[in-house]
Structures are given as C-alpha cells and as structure tokens.
Chains A and B, each alone.
Chain A
Amino acid sequence: MAPRLVVLSLASDFGCQVQLTNMTDELLDVLGLVELSYWQLATSGHMPADYDVAIVEGAVTTAEHVELLASVREKAAVVIAMGACANIGGIPGIVGRSDLEGRYALVYGSGPAVAEGRRAPLPIDSVITVDYHVPGCPIDTAEFLRVLSHVLLGLSDRVPDMAMCASCKTNETVCFFDRGQLCLGLVTRAGCGARCTSLGRACTGCRGIAPDANLASAREIAARAGVRAGDLDDALRVYNAMTEVHA
C-alpha cells in the first residue's frame, strides 16, 4: 500500500506548500507513489485518523500547535520538517521570546481575538522528534524530492553540515566580502547550491546556522571587510533569531 501522506501548516506563509505545487515536472510522479490523505491547500477532505508520513510547515506559536504535533508524532511513522519556520523558527521567530502581549497590543490593539495560547515561535523539533529536515525559505524542490525519495526508500538523509562558502567556491562566485558587502554564507548551512549568491544576492541565512560555524571569526571577517559592527548579528536575527549560538 502506498504510504499515506499529510501536509500540515502551523505559523507560516504557505510558501513551502506553494513550492510543492511548483514541482510541475515531478508532481504527478510523486503523487503516483503516495496516497495524499490530507493537504488543506489542495484537497477538500478532513484530516484522517491515520497516516504514515507527515510533512509539517511553519513554526510552533500556539498551544493548539503543540497538541497537534503531539498527535502527529503519535500517528506518523515519519515526520518531515519543511522550511525555515519549521526547522529553525525562521521569520516568525523574529518576535523572540519576550513581550508577546506587547506585540499583540501593538498589532491588534483591542481588535479581534486571534489564536489563544500564544507561545514564543520555535521550530517543531522543540516539541517533537523530527525524522527528516528540508530547510530553506522557501524549500528547494530538488532537495525536497531527494528527502522524500529517501523517506519512501527507507533511507536516512543528512542535511550538509558545511557552510555555504564551500558551495560558492565550487560555483566560482565572487565573495561579497571582497566588495565590502555583508553575506551570511560563511556561517550558514550549505545544501541549496548557494542559489542566492549565484544570482547576485548575499546569503540571508535561511537554511540555519551550520553546526561548526565560527561566529567570532565571521565577525572579524565582516569587520575587516568594512561591515558595520553588529550588522552580521542583526542579519542573523532575520531567520535565526531563535537559534541561540549567536546570542
């Protein structure tokens, strides 16, 4: 029997789900290999009682999310974290841990009640064990397909540990620091092929901080290139505000 698959979203912009719909060349092949049991964006039915693989997008920001994830972990043999929000907290993580009520008052005032049980935005592995990771904002569809095929074949998958700079060297991209511009590639996890830098845009760190990243050295390199002190850490707080290593 084909594995039953569900796609779920927590606090996110649905961008990674849209990336799934963008897999125009491969979508039909993928759908022939799984039974898509639930995907709110693209199917009409309700969440089924049982399923095998859960793809989760978005950061955990409410008590309801925590309950949902506990139920997902109980049912699904495999949980895949999809995108920056689910893997590292991402953009929702910018709000951080403090003064959520102050932010609520600033944005909504005495307006409509939004989701109760607010929590600091965290990646889903802060709540449950995650089996596979597809990082990025949004995800790279080729990487998603690799991970999904590994899931279906019962193979393990490992997101690269090295920093993005290694990919830039392979691509022969001129370093942004040589032009006095800040780039987060030197501390960001590789694996996307350094797509942004190849297109002339500095790395924004959406794949998360590499495990062996040397932040102190990165700050020195930034300073030597004439980048204002503090800018590197400020830039890291766009996607990686909930990752403690730089704090």
Chain B
Amino acid sequence: MAKLTIEHVARIEGHGNITVDVADGVVRDIRMDIVEPARFFESMVVGRRFDDAPLITSRICGICSPNHVLTSIKALEVALGVEVSDRTALLRKLLVYGSYLQNHATHLYILRRRTTWGCRTSSRWRIRIPRSSSGRCG
C-alpha cells in the first residue's frame, strides 16, 4: 500500500494535512487532519463582558472575520432578545457580501493566480497580469 502525504496544504487559510492510502491503484482512504494550533476561543469569552465577544471571536479567522463578528453579535441578540432594524440588517448583508467579494478577488488574483490563468511563474514569485482581451498572461 502506498501512502501519499501532503503536509500543510498550500494556498488555504489555516494548517491542514491530507493523507491518501492507495493499494493496487485504488484509493482506499483519504484523511484530512486539521493541525491548526488550538486557541480555545470557546473558553476565551467565558467570564468576560458580553460586548468583548464580537471583537475576540472575529479573530477566529482573518479572512472571514466579518462573518464571525456578525455570528457573535447575533448570538448576543438572541440571548438578550434584541431585534434589529431593517436598515441594520441590510447594512450587515452589505458587509457580508463585501467580504465575499474581497475573499473571492484575493483567492482568484493572489492565491490561485497560477492555476487559474495557467501562467508560468519562476522561483521568484510574480503576478502576471493579463494584458490582452484573450486573458493571456502578459
């Protein structure tokens, strides 16, 4: 049986390993291990002021922090029986959609640029910006 191991999968947020077991040319098992160092967020907010929670939990992930902020705020609102205005709800949607746009742009143009555009990159890390309408690498 052959074992393929990818330690610290690249171009993603966080630390993850993938192990693939192959026997007679057939994949027998695939395992993903999250090797992220534990930070114990659930325990961090215990005993603190309620309004510290959104700031603290927003740092669960630096890429999707707006979602963590809003999730935390919504949890507090459920606990305290707070209902927000339509305007606040819409502003929150705008925040989340904005973060989607930013994340996808970052992923497309920075993290995946080579696989997306088929650009060859040298050992020196470079972004090639398409200059023609055909989207070829400039």
Pairing of A with B:
yes
Show the binding face of A for B, using Cβ within 8 Å.
2, 9-19, 21-22, 27-28, 31, 35-37, 39-45, 58, 61-62, 65, 90-92, 94-95, 100, 103-104, 106-108, 112, 114-115, 118, 121, 137-138, 204, 231, 234-235, 238
Shortest Cβ gap from B46 to chain A (Å): 8
Please judge, given known A-B contacts A40-B8, A41-B13, whether A14 and B110 are in contact too, CB under 8 Å: no
- Enumerate chain A residues within 8 angstroms of B44, measured Cβ to Cβ: 91, 94-95
The segment from B20-28, B60-68, B76-84, B90-98 found at the interface with A is B60-68
**Is A11 in contact with B39, judged by CB distance below 8 angstroms?**
yes
- Enumerate chain A residues within 8 angstroms of B127, measured Cβ to Cβ: 27-28, 31
The 9 closest A-B pairs by CB, nearest first: A15-B62, A36-B125, A13-B62, A11-B37, A103-B43, A103-B40, A114-B38, A91-B59, A94-B44
**Is B38 in contact with A118, judged by CB distance below 8 angstroms?**
yes
Q: Which of B38, B61, B62 contacts A16 (CB 8 A)?
A: B62
Q: Which of A9, A43, A234, A235 contacts B125 (CB 8 A)?
A: A43
**Is B42 in contact with A107, judged by CB distance below 8 angstroms?**
yes
Question: What is the bound-complex CA distance between A28 and B125, given in angstroms?
Answer: 10
Question: What is the bound-complex CA distance between A28 and B129, given in angstroms?
Answer: 11
**Is B37 in contact with A14, judged by CB distance below 8 angstroms?**
no
- Enumerate chain A residues within 8 angstroms of B15, measured Cβ to Cβ: 9, 40
Shortest Cβ gap from B113 to chain A (Å): 9
- Enumerate chain A residues within 8 angstroms of B41, measured Cβ to Cβ: 107
Please judge, given known A-B contacts A31-B125, A31-B126, A35-B123, whether A107 and B38 are in contact too, CB under 8 Å: yes
Question: What is the bound-complex CA distance between A106 and B63, given in angstroms?
Answer: 26
19 contacts between A and B (CB under 8 A): A11-B38, A13-B59, A15-B59, A15-B61, A15-B62, A21-B106, A21-B111, A40-B10, A41-B12, A42-B11, A43-B10, A43-B11, A58-B37, A61-B39, A94-B56, A95-B40, A114-B38, A138-B62, A234-B49
Question: Does residue B89 face the partner (Cβ distance < 8 Å to A)?
Answer: no
Please judge, given known A-B contacts A14-B61, A42-B110, whether A35 and B55 are in contact too, CB under 8 Å: no
Known pairs A91-B56, A106-B42, A115-B35 / 20 extra A-B pairs, C-beta < 8 Å: A2-B124, A11-B39, A13-B59, A13-B60, A14-B62, A15-B63, A18-B106, A27-B127, A36-B124, A41-B111, A61-B37, A61-B38, A95-B44, A100-B40, A107-B41, A112-B34, A204-B55, A234-B48, A234-B52, A238-B52
Q: Which of B14, B35, B43, B65 contacts A107 (CB 8 A)?
A: B43
- Enumerate chain B residues within 8 angstroms of A15, measured Cβ to Cβ: 59, 61-63, 65
- Enumerate chain A residues within 8 angstroms of B34, measured Cβ to Cβ: 112, 114
- Enumerate chain A residues within 8 angstroms of B10, measured Cβ to Cβ: 40-41, 43-45
What residue of chain A has the Cβ atom nearest to residue B127's Cβ?
A28
- Enumerate chain A residues within 8 angstroms of B42, measured Cβ to Cβ: 106-107
Question: What is the bound-complex CA distance between A17 and B52, given in angstroms?
Answer: 24
Shortest Cβ gap from B103 to chain A (Å): 9
Question: What is the bound-complex CA distance between A58 and B43, given in angstroms?
Answer: 19
